[in-house]
């Protein structure tokens, strides 16, 4: 006897939906729409079968999935995924349908199921006509440190070198400060960290207080010492440096993070926006202070003049942060753009006290160390604009230095 059993796919039911952004009842004050939330189903399934779209008349925009350990860890017996994308209100939505916000929905489709939910969007009047995060925005405020000519060069090249910016005495003070921090490392809190064995499989972050001084013979990164050293902050954002950065960043510079390298970083070429995109595009700069003359075999800084003009790669979630799954496509895009624009890398042959300032979107990295016995002592600081951040996110110290809290 032949039996015929039709195998039907189990019915997958949505058991919960949650929207974090846009915040219901709160008007959006920047021309960017972040769609973020999570869904929970009654059973696991292959997420490549789940499609989420933001839909309004004449517009259908894919929303990227996001792993939400913060939610899924607290759920039992449910299968959860987050979603999170950033859209340009003008370019992605209003230009296609001026009334999009009056009737906009999030539509989720999965094998055998579909759910539509309405998103209430309120937009602040101040958003009209304002450039979004995705638009290029350079704000020139030339001053005595950076005059109009220097600013023009910055716009062309995306970097700026100020030779002998720090005096020999200042650099020696900075070196002493690092030595004394190593000597007293157990006095620092867990906010001050070391990335040991950078660029190898053994790379990991440990607390500075636990770091073995033997690490100093290898490539490591000392992170955010400025958080607990007012003395260091004075150098990383001295009045002179602040005046130089202000026209380049278009606002009041604020320390976002700081890194001390004793040896070359050998870091692959990257845009810093992969790791720390500013809240307003382009409103981030970095400074690189040479604490000694850099030997060509010590792994100098490599940079690509003019690469800041390459339109940044927007990952599928609509952001500039590096998405590891899409890294190969991003690298291919950058390589093609470099060929198209004929940009070749240069190495920075720094002398003690020189400072190299780079644009948020300048491609750079660390060249290989040919001679591991050589040090390459340098201090890197990334700066955001304080105006970009709510006041409770940053501090101003007694010297007038702004820095982001951790």
Piece of the chain touching Fe ion by CB under 5 A; list 32-40, 181-189, 229-237, 269-277: 269-277
Residue 132 or 378 with smaller CB distance to ligand AKG: 378
Q: Cα separation of 13 and 39, whole Å? A: 11
Interface residue with ligand AKG among 50, 89, 121, 259 (CB under 6 A) is: 259
Q: Which of residues 289-348 bind ligand AKG (CB under 6 A)?
A: 301
- Shortest distance (Å) from residue 380 CB to ligand AKG: 4
220 binds ligand AKG (CB under 6 A): no
Please choose, from the candidates 311, 304, 321, 299, the residue with its C-alpha nearest in 3D space to the C-alpha of residue 366. Answer: 299
227 binds, among Fe ion, ligand AKG, none (CB under 5 to 8 A by kind): none
Helix axes 148-157, 239-249, angle to 10 degrees: 60
CB within 8 Å of 288: residues ≥ 6 apart: 301, 348, 350, 355, 356, 357, 358, 378, 379, 380
The footprint of Fe ion on this chain (CB under 5 A) covers a number of residues equal to 1
Cβ neighbourhood burial of 307 (10 Å; 0-12, 13-18, 19+):
buried
DSSP code string of 36-82 = EEEEEESS---GGG-EEEEEETTEEEEE-EE--HHHHTT-SS-EEEE
| Nearest residue to the partner Fe ion, using Cβ | 272
- Cα–Cα distance for residue pair 228/289, rounded to 1 Å: 19
Q: Using the 8-state DSSP alphabet, how is residue 123 labeled?
A: B
| Nearest approach, Cβ of residue 199 and ligand AKG (Å) | 10
Considering only 85, 244, 265, 283, the residue that binds ligand AKG (CB under 6 A) is 265
Residue 380 binds ligand AKG, judged by CB under 6 A = yes
> Residue 195, interface with Fe ion (CB under 5 A)?
no
Which structure tokens are listed for 264? 């070359």
CB distance 366 to 266 below 8 Å = yes
Return the range that interacts with ligand AKG (CB under 6 A); candidates 30-38, 92-100, 135-143, 265-273: 265-273
Answer yes or no whether residue 381 interacts with ligand AKG by CB under 6 A: no
Of 147-155, 248-256, 260-268, 290-298, the window that binds ligand AKG (rule: CB under 6 A) is 260-268
User: Interface with ligand AKG includes 33 (CB under 6 A)?
Assistant: no
- Rule CB under 5 A: is residue 272 a binding residue for Fe ion? yes
Please report, as ranges, the residues that interact with ligand AKG according to CB under 6 A.
259, 261, 264-265, 267, 272, 286, 301, 364, 366, 378, 380
Please report, as ranges, the residues that interact with Fe ion according to CB under 5 A.
272
């Amino acid at each position: 006897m032949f039996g015929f059993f039709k195998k039907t796919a189990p019915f997958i039911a949505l058991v919960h939906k949650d929207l974090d952004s846009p915040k219901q009842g709160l008007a959006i004050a920047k021309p960017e729409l972040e769609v973020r939330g999570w869904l929970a189903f009654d059973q696991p399934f292959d997420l490549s079968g789940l499609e989420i779209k933001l839909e309004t008349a004449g517009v259908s925009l894919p929303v990227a999935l996001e792993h939400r350990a913060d939610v899924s860890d607290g759920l039992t017996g449910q299968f959860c995924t987050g979603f999170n994308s950033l859209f340009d209100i003008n370019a992605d939505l209003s230009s296609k349908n001026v009334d999009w916000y009056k009737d906009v929905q999030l539509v989720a489709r999965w094998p055998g199921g579909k759910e539509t939910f309405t998103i209430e969007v309120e937009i602040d009047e101040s958003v009209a006509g304002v450039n979004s995060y995705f638009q290029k925005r350079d704000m020139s405020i030339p001053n005595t440190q950076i005059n109009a000519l220097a600013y023009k060069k910055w716009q062309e090249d995306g970097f700026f070198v100020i030779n002998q910016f720090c005096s020999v005495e200042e650099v020696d003070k900075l070196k002493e400060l690092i030595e004394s921090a190593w000597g007293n490392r157990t006095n620092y809190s867990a906010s001050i960290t070391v990335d040991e064995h950078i660029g190898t499989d053994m790379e990991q972050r440990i607390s500075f207080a636990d770091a073995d001084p033997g690490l100093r013979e290898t490539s490591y990164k000392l992170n955010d010492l400025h958080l607990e050293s007012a003395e260091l902050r004075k150098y990383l954002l001295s009045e002179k440096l602040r005046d130089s950065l202000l026209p380049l960043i278009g606002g009041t510079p604020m320390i976002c993070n700081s890194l001390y390298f004793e040896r070359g970083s050998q870091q692959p070429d990257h845009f810093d926006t992969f790791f720390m995109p500013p809240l307003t595009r382009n409103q981030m700069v970095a400074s690189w202070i040479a604490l000694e003359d850099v030997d060509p075999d010590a792994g100098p800084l490599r940079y690509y003049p003019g690469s800041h003009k390459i339109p940044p790669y927007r990952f599928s979630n609509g952001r500039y942060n590096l998405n590891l799954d899409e890294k190969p496509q991003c690298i291919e895009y950058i390589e093609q753009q470099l060929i198209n624009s004929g940009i070749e890398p240069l190495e920075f042959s720094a002398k003690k006290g020189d400072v190299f300032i780079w644009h948020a979107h300048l491609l750079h990295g660390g060249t290989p160390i040919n001679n591991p016995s050589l040090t390459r002592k340098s201090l890197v600081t990334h700066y955001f604009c304080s105006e970009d951040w709510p006041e409770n996110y940053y501090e101003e110290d007694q010297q007038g230095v702004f820095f982001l809290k951790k």
